[in-house]
Structure 1
Amino acid sequence: MKRNVLFICLDTVRADLFKEVASDLPEMADVTVEGARAPSSCTVPSHASLVSGQLPSNHGVYSYDADMRRIDHSDTLFASLTDYRTIGVSANPYAGSASHFDTFFDEFVDISPQRRFPSGMDAGTFALTTDTEGPMRYVEFLREAMSHDATLASLANGAAGLLNDRLLASDHFPRPFDNGARYVLREARERLHDDDDRPTFLYLNLMEAHEPVADTLGYDVDRSKVPRGWSSDVLDFDAINTGRAPFDEAAVGTYRHLYRTAIDYTDELVAEFIRFAEETLPGETTAVVFSDHGERLGYTPEDRQLGHNVSRLTESLLHVPLLIRNSPVELDYLSKGPFSLLDLPQLVSAVVSGKSLGQRRQLVVAERLASVVAEKFNVDATERGRLNRTRRCVYEDGQKVVWDGERSATAYEVTNSRAEAVAERSVGVPNAETSVFEVPIETADRRFDTEGGVSTGVDEAIQERLEQLGYS
C-alpha cells in the first residue's frame, strides 16, 4: 500500500524563530532542511508555486488574481496522487475556497472565526446579509439556525463568533478561541477515521502565527510582556510601513512575544496530531511540515517594517522551516545548503513513489509580484509604483542578489542572525534573470499590476475575513 502523506503548512512562520521556539516537531523530524526558502513572500503566489513547482510569473497566480484554477491539475503535485483520497482543511481563505485552492482536493473544509463548525451555517455571512437590527437580529439568527440541517453546529458558530468578537474588542479578557488550529485539527481527525481503502494525502493550514495575533486562552503567555486581552490590531502595519505612524518599540515587542508564543502553541498541537495520524491511518505515513512564507518583525534599524504584505524578499520572509518525518527515500543531503519549496512537488512524488528525489536545483530563486496592500497606502503614483514593483532574488555562492524592474540589483551576504544580511553592495543583474526566469522582469511589472483586486468574486464574509488578516 502507498504511504500516507501529511502536508502541513504552518502559515507565516519564519525559520529563525521557529528554530528558537519549537521543540516537539524538530525532535520528531528525521530531516530538518535548514536552508529552505519560499518561492514568494505571501500566501497566494507561494501556495500556487509550491504545488506547481512554477514561479509566480509563470503560473500567473498572485495577490490581484488569486484564482488557482488557472493552474492545470496535471501540472501540480496532485498529478502524482491519482490513487489517493485528497483532503484539505484550512484556516486561511487564500489557501482555500477564496482562491479556489479547494478545487485540487476531493474534500475541503474552510475554518473561520464565524464558522468553527463547518457543517453549520456561517455566522459571518448571516451578519453581513441580514438587515435586522437590535434584539430581533438574534431572534432571526436563532430561527435560521433552528431550520438548518446542522442546528447545533449553527448555534455553536453563532455563539463562538459573538463571544470571540466581544472579547477581542475588550482589553480585559484573553481571546477564548485560537486562530483556528484546534478546529482545523479536529476536522482533520474526524476525516482520518473515515472508512476509505485509499491512501490519504492531507493538507492542513494553521494560521496561529498570522496577524492579528492576540492574547489567547491556551497560549503560554508571559504576563510581564503581554497585557491581558492585548491584540496586534493596535498596530497599524500599513501606516508603520509607510512612515505615517511611529514604530512603537514596546507594542512591537509584545507582538513579537505573542508571535513566538503562537509558534510554540502550534508546534505542540501539530506534533500531537502527527502522532495521532500515524496511529490511526493504515500503512506508513510521511509528514512534511513547512511554511509558505515568514513575517517581518522589525528587529533591525534597517528593517523597521511589519507583516508580509509588502513587496520585499527579505530573509525574514523567505527563510522558512521545512521538516520531514518518516520518508521512504534518503533526504539527509537536503539539510545542507539552500533548498527551494519549488521542489516540493518532486519531494511529494518521491515520497509517494519511493524513488529518489535526485539532485536539488542549482539556483534557488524567489519572486514577489505586485503588492496586495499598495492601493491602501495614501501615497502618490511614484511611491505606489515603487511599492508594487516586481522583485526577484537568487541564492548563489553564499550570497543573495535581489533586483527589481528598474534593474537595480543588490548583493547580500546571507546570515542566520536577525540582522537579515550583511555586506550589502550594488551589483549587476545576475544571469538568473534570463537563465531561470522565463518572463523578463519588465514584462512582469507591466503584466501583473493591481487592477481588479483580491475581492473579485469573493463573497462578503470571506472578504471581511481577508481584511481581518490584513489583506485589502
Structure 2
Amino acid sequence: MTGADRPDRPNIVVVCLDTVRKDVYDRYATRLRELASIRFEGMRTLAGWSVPSHAGLLTGSIPSETGVHAHQRRFDPIDVEDTWIAPLERMGYESVCVTSNIYASPVFGFDRFFDRTVPVSPSRRLPAGMDVQRHISDRSTEGMEAYADFVRQALEHDHPLRSLANGVLLKLDDVSRKLPIEKPTDFGGRSIVRALEREVTEPDGPVLAFANLMDAHGPHTPFRGLDDSIHGVSADFHSSSFRDSDVNVADGLGDYAASVQRVRRLYAATVDYLDRLVADLVTALETGDDRESILIVTADHGENLGYESDGFLMNHMSSLSEGLLHVPFDVVTTGDGTLDLAVDGTGTHIGPDGQSTADDGADRPVDVNGLSSHADLGGVIQSLADEKPFDPFAFERERARAEIVGSGSGIPEGGDEAYWDRGQRVIYRGDRKYYRDQLGTEAVYDVSGPPSKQVERPDETVPDGLFESAFGDWVTDDEHDEGAFAEEVDAASRARLEDLGYL
C-alpha cells in the first residue's frame, strides 16, 4: 500500500534543540527524558557547528561529502533526493520547516528541501508579519521619520497588527539590553512551538516537520521565563561583555572564569526552559490532533562551555570535543496508538505515556546505550513512518564519524589562522575516540565516562589506516571563494549572523 493510500500514518516531528549538549540535557530536560519512549544515549552528530551539522542531519553524510561547510555555507550542493525528506513525501507526507536558525533558513537555501518553511527571528516573532530587521537595514530615514516610515509600511502589510507587534517586541528587546532589566522575550522558542503546533495539526494528512529552536545558542542573557533558581544571574549581564575568542586563547579560563560560570548557569536554565516548551508541545499535539505524532528530540551539535574536557574552549568553533559531538536523541510518542518495538524478538509496545510494556509486564523506556550517529537519522525516520516493528538497537554502530572543514568563524584576533581554521576529523570505535587534524596532530580519547566528556590517552596511538579507510582527501579553502559568501548575504542577515557570533 502506498503512502498516498495511508493517510493514517503518524506525523514525524524532528525537534532540533540547537547547541544543546548531552550532559546538560540529561540533567535539565527532565520532562522530555521522562516522556521519552526510546532514548539513544550514545548519539553523536556529524559535525560541530550549524551549517555542516544541518547538512549531516538531512543526508547522513560528513561535510567533505555534502560539500556544505565553512567555505561553502549554502545548501545548494545537496540534491533533495539525497535527503530523507524526498522518500517520505512520496509516501504521502507534507513537509514543513519551522526555524529560528538563519543558516537553516531561506537565506542559505535550506527551504528548498521542504514544501513550506516558516522562518522566525528576533525581528519577526510573528512569522506572518513583516521582518523588522530587514526594514531597518533597507531604510534611508532616521529618527522620528524612520519610526513613521516603519508604521506606514507595517500598516500596508498583509498582516499590519502582527507587523506592528514585531516592531514593538524588537524595540522592547533593544531597550532591555540597555537597561538593567531582564529581556522580556526569549530567543524565538515560544514562537517556534506555536507555529509548529499549527503547521502539524492543521493539515488533513501526515506531516513531516523539522524545527530548529535557537534559544540555547549564544548570546546569553537573563530573559523572562527562565528559572532564576537555576541561573541566579543579574539582569544586567550579557555574554557580549566578553568575546569567546579571547577566552579560547587564554591560559585556562584566565580572567573570564566568573563570566563563563554565568554563561553556564544561563545555558542550563535555557535547556530547562526548552524542556518545558517542548513538553507543552507534546501535550498540545495530543489534545489538538487525532493523528499520532512521533517526536525526535535531538540537537545539531552541543556547546563548549569552558570545561577542561572542552579544552577550556567556548562556543562551537574549531573543535570536535565531546561537548559538541555528544547530543541528545529521544523519541517521544503522542496519541492513543502504540509504537511496536522489535526488541530481541519480544512483544514490546510503546504507549502514549512514553513507557514500554514487554512480555514480562515491566514498564520502562527503552535505552539504547551503544554508539549511534546522526548518519542514521533518515533510517530511524523511515522505520517510524513505515509503522513496522521498530528495532532501535539496529541503529547501534561499531563506528561513527565526524568532521569539520574550516572554523566557521571565531578566529581569535591575531591568532594563527591556519590552526583555528584547520580541518578536523574524528572516528569513534568502541569506547575510544580517535582524532586527527589537517596539520597532522593525532590524539586518542576515552569516552566511556560521563556524557559529553573525554579523557585523553597519551599512551595510545591511532591504528594504522583508520582514517584513510573512513575519509577522502581534505577539503581546502583554495577551492572556494569565501569572500563571495560575505558579498551575497544581505545587511539584515549579516546583522543576525554578527549577533550570533558567526561574523
Name the TM-score, length of structure 1 as normaliser.
0.92
Aligned mates of 1:360, 1:430 — CA distance in 2? 24
**1:379 to 2:414 alignment:** yes
Aligned mates of 1:328, 1:265 — CA distance in 2? 31
| Cα offsets for 1:247-302 (capped at 9, x unmatched) | 41111111100000000000011011022113323332211000010111112287
Correspondence 1:140-219 to 2 at 5 A = 140-170=149-179, 172-194=180-202, 196-219=203-226
Corresponding position of 1:297 = 305
Correspondence 1:326-337 to 2 at 5 A = 326=333, 327-330=339-342, 335-337=368-370
Farther-moved stretch of structure 1 (364-373 vs 239-248): 239-248
Structure 1 contact 89–203 (Cα < 8 Å) conserved: yes
How far off is 1:90 after superposition? 0.8
Structure 2 contact 310–321 (Cα < 8 Å) conserved: no
Corresponding position of 1:288 = 296
How far off is 1:79 after superposition? 2.1
Equivalent of residue 286 in structure 2, options 260, 278, 293: 278
3-state SS of paired residue (1:370):
coil
Structure 2 contact 124–131 (Cα < 8 Å) conserved: yes
Equivalent of residue 249 in structure 1, options 250, 253, 257: 257
Equivalent residue letter for 1:304: F
How far off is 1:378 after superposition? 2.6
Aligned mates of 1:453, 1:306 — CA distance in 2? 28
Farther-moved stretch of structure 1 (238-247 vs 279-288): 238-247
Equivalent residue letter for 2:141: T
**1:40 to 2:47 alignment:** yes
Corresponding position of 1:406 = 439
Corresponding position of 2:457 = 423
Structure 1 contact 192–280 (Cα < 8 Å) conserved: no
Structure 2 contact 230–269 (Cα < 8 Å) conserved: no
Closer/same/farther in 2, CA of residues 302 and 267 from structure 1, 3 Å limit: closer
Closer/same/farther in 2, CA of residues 36 and 430 from structure 1, 3 Å limit: farther
3-state SS of paired residue (1:93):
coil
Closer/same/farther in 2, CA of residues 417 and 2 from structure 1, 3 Å limit: closer
3-state SS of paired residue (2:181):
coil
Equivalent of residue 90 in structure 1, options 94, 99, 123: 99
Equivalent of residue 51 in structure 1, options 58, 63, 68: 58
Corresponding position of 2:374 = 341
Aligned mates of 1:316, 1:247 — CA distance in 2? 22
Closer/same/farther in 2, CA of residues 421 and 388 from structure 1, 3 Å limit: same
Equivalent residue letter for 2:41: E
Structure 1 contact 39–55 (Cα < 8 Å) conserved: yes
Closer/same/farther in 2, CA of residues 330 and 277 from structure 1, 3 Å limit: farther
3-state SS of paired residue (1:222):
helix
Equivalent of residue 226 in structure 1, options 203, 223, 233: 233
How many residues of Structure 1 are paired with residues of Structure 2 in the alignment?
463
CA RMSD of aligned residues (A): 2.2
Aligned mates of 1:351, 1:330 — CA distance in 2? 12
Structure 2 contact 371–398 (Cα < 8 Å) conserved: no
Equivalent residue letter for 1:275: T
Corresponding position of 1:365 = 401
Equivalent residue letter for 2:442: A
| Cα offsets for 1:399-432 (capped at 9, x unmatched) | 1110012332110111316653243446246534
Closer/same/farther in 2, CA of residues 312 and 17 from structure 1, 3 Å limit: same
Closer/same/farther in 2, CA of residues 223 and 43 from structure 1, 3 Å limit: closer
3-state SS of paired residue (1:335):
strand
Farther-moved stretch of structure 1 (448-457 vs 37-46): 448-457
Aligned mates of 2:183, 2:476 — CA distance in 1? 41
Farther-moved stretch of structure 1 (268-277 vs 228-237): 228-237
Aligned mates of 2:481, 2:245 — CA distance in 1? 17
| Cα offsets for 1:67-109 (capped at 9, x unmatched) | 1132111110112212111111111111112221111111111
Equivalent residue letter for 1:283: R
Equivalent residue letter for 2:271: I
3-state SS of paired residue (2:228):
coil
**1:30 to 2:37 alignment:** yes
Aligned mates of 2:198, 2:33 — CA distance in 1? 26
Equivalent of residue 323 in structure 2, options 316, 327, 332: 316
How far off is 1:306 after superposition? 0.6
Aligned mates of 2:230, 2:35 — CA distance in 1? 30
3-state SS of paired residue (2:318):
coil
Structure 1 contact 40–46 (Cα < 8 Å) conserved: yes
| Cα offsets for 1:162-219 (capped at 9, x unmatched) | 111111232x10000001000111112222342x332011111111110011110111
Closer/same/farther in 2, CA of residues 430 and 215 from structure 1, 3 Å limit: farther
Q: Which runs of 5+ in 2 are unaligned?
A: 1-7, 334-338, 344-364
Aligned mates of 1:292, 1:4 — CA distance in 2? 21
Aligned mates of 2:257, 2:209 — CA distance in 1? 40
Corresponding position of 1:260 = 268
Equivalent of residue 117 in structure 1, options 121, 126, 136: 126
Equivalent residue letter for 1:197: D
